[in-house]
Structure 1
Amino acid sequence: MTTVAKAVKKTAKTKGPKPADIPPAHAGKVGVLLVNLGTPDGTDYWPMRRYLREFLSDRRVIEWPRAVWYPVLYGIVLSTRPKKSGAAYAKIWNRERDESPLRTFTRAQAEKLGAALAEHKHIVVDWAMRYGSPSIETVTKSLMERGCKRIVAFPLYPQYSASTTATVNDKFFEALMKMRFQPAVRTVPAYYDEPVYIDALARSIERHLASLDFEPEVVIASYHGIPQSYAQRGDPYGRHCEESSRLLRARLGWDDNRLLTCFQSRFGPEEWLQPYTDKTVERLAREGVKSIAVFNPGFVSDCLETLEEIAIGAGEIFHEAGGRNFTHIPCLNDSEEGMAVIEALVRRELSGWV
């Protein structure tokens, strides 16, 4: 018998605790962190300025060289835009809670997800904002302090972009870099083509249209835009948006003329992904289209860009150009359909941990 064989045989005969006597490994709690874009703490100048400075200083959002961008940011943008943005936020501000709708909906999504996962006593659900508060670092630390040794981070963006999904992941991993003891982590990928997401959008649209006293001739899927240069450098966002629209058309049984894809919220002098939502809304009205609906499939929750820019702003453009009937279809928010999407994706990513 070889030396190795003798060692194996001896080990096999060695007495030790039976498997039933060995205590189970302590896995700790599992954290689920929902992350959305962000929100100012108020509509006045200084809260808006703090928020915009953090947002517009992000290299993922503005990719210009700092030597070019910072003089514009600090010399012009942060002097003029806080007042303008504050006035826009004031139109849609949640006065009862004194906060933006985005904060209200994100909190509600986390609370409802926690209730949906209540059968797992060791799961802790929380939420954070990429810009503003509560910050990703603060909430990540809090999850660790509450005993979470594993964390699933969920950037709440259906379509991937470096300026949204990637910057959330950047900030999450920056928080981990400061920790001596790090949790095991997972991040939820983009879900622009997930059947549960497409079906939720379709059912939300169908329910809203059924409640109207008119039939929209055209329905516009308005996604947040990105500069064309970002797409040319490899950002897949535009392709993801087009694919979401294609799948949604198939699910609804509509053609390209009934459901249009457009892009909104452009900023600065660059060309952004086109066609532009505001220009399309105006064109349709001038061409004689009298009834349209607009929805925002790239936004998980209603916010400034959906409530002020689209529900109010795009509606005004349409009416001023000769349109008659305009409706904005709300985001999925914390609706039954919206929560079904979030819960399905989180449960999938928890597989093996729960």
Structure 2
Amino acid sequence: MNKTSVILVNLGTPDEPTPASIARFLRAFLSDPRVVEVPRLIWWFLLRLVIIPLRAKRVAHAYREIWWEDGSPLRVISGRQVVDLQEVLTDRYGEKAPVVAEAMTYGKPALDETIRRLEEKGIEKFLIIPMYPQYSGSTSGAIYDQVAQIIQRSRNVPDMTVIKSFHDDIGYIQSIAEAIKAYWAEHGRNEKLLMSFHGIPQDYVDKGDPYGEHCRVTAHAIASALGLASSEWSMSYQSRFGPKKWLQPYTDDKLKQWVEEGIRSVDIVSPAFTADCLETLEELNISYRELFFEQGGEKYHYIPCVNNTPLFINALAEITAKKLLLNH
């Protein structure tokens, strides 16, 4: 058995679309100082006494709208990515192929539990791939924190490497561009393409977070791969939370602006997510669709994430092979 593993790490998901399960997930997620930079004592009271009680029922309703028969879309798709990447790596490298596993930053399966389980099977080396193409301290940074905690607790420290980002990876860019082309071939193309990225507070970027620049690089690379003129597309940021100023333009404002300018049909895609989840299936595909129509828009197409499309799985395989020197 190969003594190397590649672990695909995503954000996490509630176990069930219920207020109780949502509350547990939000408590873990929003308690991370990487995610919310507010003095801990103040935030502890706000989170438990105000935010979670107010948000749990509303978020549970949103999850129920997009929940699949076999579970949370993010968890289901993550499992498919693991299976498909394992198949590709095994086909290419046989006994040299690393063991593919998944983990979540918040919820199950936890990264430390996944590594412990693999170590029990004889795995000694780990390649950790955060499934966020664009690095942010609030996402990938939290995974580095967990890796550091695992190292601190270990007498025999695991050999771990983390892929910081793949926002400009050629295979990743191609996988998105081809998914957009395939969607257009089947459903037709609208007047504008909007690339919506998950937002973060502006002050995070002001303090040195490269996320905004990574998003811009990704967006321009996709537009170039599609051969789009600057007038045919734009980028924006979604999912803002709280009173702080976040990266702009905001997705809802951009949609309103386009309607005011006479644009009646849009395509929207999110290169920030590698698996469809609440932020894409509910926020982009339902909430912003309703907003666009309310403003006077007429055609709105949501283009799914790369998920487990063959080109994206191939991109992950190439990233893995380069880092682990599998071709040598």
TM bin, normalised by shorter chain, reads over 0.9
Equivalent in 302, 306, 323 of residue 297 of structure 2: 323
Map 1:38-53 → 2, pairs under 5 A = 38-53=12-27
**Which residue pairs with 2:149 in the alignment?**
174
**Which residue pairs with 1:10 in the alignment?**
none
Which segment is superposed worse, 150-159 or 251-260?
251-260
Which segment is superposed worse, 287-296 or 263-272?
287-296
- Between the aligned partners of 1:205 and 1:228, the Cα distance in structure 2 is 29
| Contact 1:140-1:175 within 8 A present in 2 as well | no
Which segment is superposed worse, 99-108 or 284-293?
284-293
Do residues 146 (structure 1) and 121 (structure 2) align? Answer: yes
**Which residue pairs with 2:88 in the alignment?**
116
| Contact 2:124-2:158 within 8 A present in 1 as well | yes
Equivalent in 4, 25, 30 of residue 4 of structure 2: 30
- Between the aligned partners of 1:158 and 1:188, the Cα distance in structure 2 is 10
SS at match of 2:194: strand
Map 1:232-251 → 2, pairs under 5 A = 232-251=206-225
Cα deviation, residue 247, structure 1: 1.4
Equivalent in 158, 171, 175 of residue 200 of structure 1: 175
SS at match of 1:159: coil
Q: Which runs of 5+ in 2 are unaligned?
A: none
| Contact 1:198-1:247 within 8 A present in 2 as well | yes
- Between the aligned partners of 1:175 and 1:100, the Cα distance in structure 2 is 27
- Between the aligned partners of 1:72 and 1:59, the Cα distance in structure 2 is 14
Q: CA deviation digits over 1:6-64, x for unaligned, max 9?
A: xxxxxxxxxxxxxxxxxxxxx96101111001000011121111100000000100011
- Between the aligned partners of 1:77 and 1:305, the Cα distance in structure 2 is 18
- Between the aligned partners of 1:251 and 1:278, the Cα distance in structure 2 is 26
- Between the aligned partners of 1:170 and 1:121, the Cα distance in structure 2 is 32
- Between the aligned partners of 2:147 and 2:65, the Cα distance in structure 1 is 32
Please give the root-mean-square deviation of Cα atoms over the aligned residues, in Å.
1.5
Map 1:204-283 → 2, pairs under 5 A = 204-213=179-188, 215-283=189-257
TM-score, normalised to structure 2, is 0.96
Equivalent in 332, 336, 345 of residue 310 of structure 2: 336
Do residues 310 (structure 1) and 284 (structure 2) align? Answer: yes
**Which residue pairs with 1:295 in the alignment?**
269
Q: How many residues align?
A: 325
Which segment is superposed worse, 186-195 or 309-318?
186-195
Which segment is superposed worse, 72-81 or 220-229?
72-81
Which segment is superposed worse, 150-159 or 244-253?
244-253
Aligned letter for 1:296? Answer: S
Equivalent in 115, 129, 133 of residue 104 of structure 2: 129
Cα deviation, residue 286, structure 1: 3.0
Q: Please tell me whether Structure 1 or Structure 2 has the larger radius of gyration of its CA atoms.
A: 1
Q: What percent of counterpart residues are identical?
A: 36
- Between the aligned partners of 1:352 and 1:253, the Cα distance in structure 2 is 33
Cα deviation, residue 352, structure 1: 6.2
| Contact 2:256-2:292 within 8 A present in 1 as well | yes
SS at match of 1:39: coil
TM-score, normalised to structure 1, is 0.89
SS at match of 1:163: coil
- Between the aligned partners of 1:265 and 1:56, the Cα distance in structure 2 is 14
Q: Where in structure 1 do 4 or more consecutive aligned residues deviate above 3 Å? A: none
- Between the aligned partners of 2:231 and 2:300, the Cα distance in structure 1 is 17
| Contact 2:18-2:60 within 8 A present in 1 as well | yes
Q: CA deviation digits over 1:112-156, x for unaligned, max 9?
A: 111112143352111011011111111010111111111101111
**Which residue pairs with 2:134 in the alignment?**
159
Cα deviation, residue 268, structure 1: 0.4
Cα deviation, residue 353, structure 1: 9.6
Q: Which runs of 5+ in 1 are unaligned?
A: 1-26
**Which residue pairs with 1:100 in the alignment?**
72
- Between the aligned partners of 1:255 and 1:64, the Cα distance in structure 2 is 41
SS at match of 1:111: helix
- Between the aligned partners of 1:132 and 1:84, the Cα distance in structure 2 is 20
